[in-house]
Structure 1
C-alpha cells in the first residue's frame, strides 16, 4: 500500500479564529509527526485536491461556525459527515470542506481515508490572533490531530506487514 498521511490545516490567519487550522500546522512543525506531510491551505477546493492522492490518508484541522455555538468545542468528523454539512454553511470559507469532499468524490479523487478535526470559533472578523476560547482549545485540537496521525500510520504499517503485502 503506497499512501501518505497528509495533515492539512485550513484557514485564513487574517480572520481571527479561522486561523486555528493553520495554528495547528505551525505548532506541529516544531516537532513534526513521523511520516506525515504537513500542509497549509486556504480551503480552495482545487488547491485542496492537489494536496493528496487517492491512496493517501488525510487529517484536516479547521475552524467551524456553529449556531448555536459553543466557542472552543471540538468536533471530529468523517469525510461523509463533513459532506453532509455542505448543504448548510459551516465554514468561514467561500466553499467549505463538504463541497471539497463532494468535488473530490465526483472526480474520483477522494483520499482513502479522511478525518476532520474542528474547533468552534467565536470571532471570524478581520484581524490576527485566536479568541480566548479557541486558543484554550488549541492543545486539545493538536492532540486529536496527532492521535489520528498515529492511528492512521499504525494502520498503514499493519497493512504493509500483513501476509501477501509487497515488501
Structure 2
C-alpha cells in the first residue's frame, strides 16, 4: 500500500450549491498533512477513477439532493451507502456518484478506504455562490473532512 490519501471535491461552482465540493477542497488547502492530494472533479467517472488510482484512502466531498431535503445537513457515507442512497436521489452530473462507485466496484477499482462527506443542498440552478444553508454548513464539513484526512495519515491532531 502506498499510504496515498486523496480528497476529491465533486461539483460545479457554476451550479449554486453543487459547488460545495470544490469550495471544500479550496478551504482544505493548508489544513491537511503534506502529501494529501486535493482534487476538484466534475464527477466524470473515468476521471474520478483515475484521480484515485493507487490511493489507499479517498475522501469524496459531494453535494447531495435527498428527497426529504434538509439543506445544510451533513452526511458521512461508506461507498456502499453512497451507491444505495444516491441511486434514489438526483444528481447534477451526467452520472451520479452512486453510478461512479458502482462502476468502480464492478471494475475492482474501489480504493481500500473510501468515505463520502456529503451536504444536502438547496439550489443547483445555474449561478455562482452557495445558498445560506450550505455556506453555513461548509466550515463543519471542512472540519470533518480535515479530521478524516488526518486520521488516514495516522495523525490525531492538526498539522
State the secondary structure of the residue aligned to 1:6: strand
Deviation at 1:94, TM superposition (A): 1.8
Structure 1 partner of 2:138: 138
Structure 2 partner of 1:109: 109
Equivalent-residue separation in structure 1 for 2:89 and 2:97 (angstroms): 10
**C-alpha RMSD of matched pairs (Å):** 1.4
Structure 1 partner of 2:88: 88
- 1:33-68 Cα distance to aligned partner (Å, 9 max, x none): 113110000001111001012542100111110121
State the secondary structure of the residue aligned to 1:154: coil
Retained in 2: the 8 A contact 1:64–1:92? Answer: no
What TM-score comes out, normalization by structure 2 length?
0.92
Structure 1 partner of 2:60: 60
Structure 1 partner of 2:100: 100
Structure 2 partner of 1:164: none
Retained in 2: the 8 A contact 1:54–1:110? Answer: no
Retained in 2: the 8 A contact 1:54–1:112? Answer: no
Give 5+ residue unaligned stretches, structure 1: 156-167
What TM-score comes out, normalization by structure 1 length?
0.87
Structure 1 partner of 2:48: 48
Retained in 1: the 8 A contact 2:66–2:89? Answer: no
Equivalent-residue separation in structure 2 for 1:55 and 1:48 (angstroms): 12
Deviation at 1:7, TM superposition (A): 0.3
Equivalent-residue separation in structure 2 for 1:75 and 1:119 (angstroms): 6
Equivalent-residue separation in structure 1 for 2:24 and 2:37 (angstroms): 13
Equivalent-residue separation in structure 1 for 2:50 and 2:26 (angstroms): 20
Name the count of aligned residue pairs: 154
**Superposed counterparts of 1:144-159, under 5 Å:** 144-154=144-154
Give 5+ residue unaligned stretches, structure 2: none
Question: Mean alpha-carbon deviation: is it higher for 100-109 or for 132-141?
Answer: 100-109
Equivalent-residue separation in structure 2 for 1:151 and 1:89 (angstroms): 29
Equivalent-residue separation in structure 2 for 1:65 and 1:106 (angstroms): 25
- Does 1:36 find its partner at 2:41? no
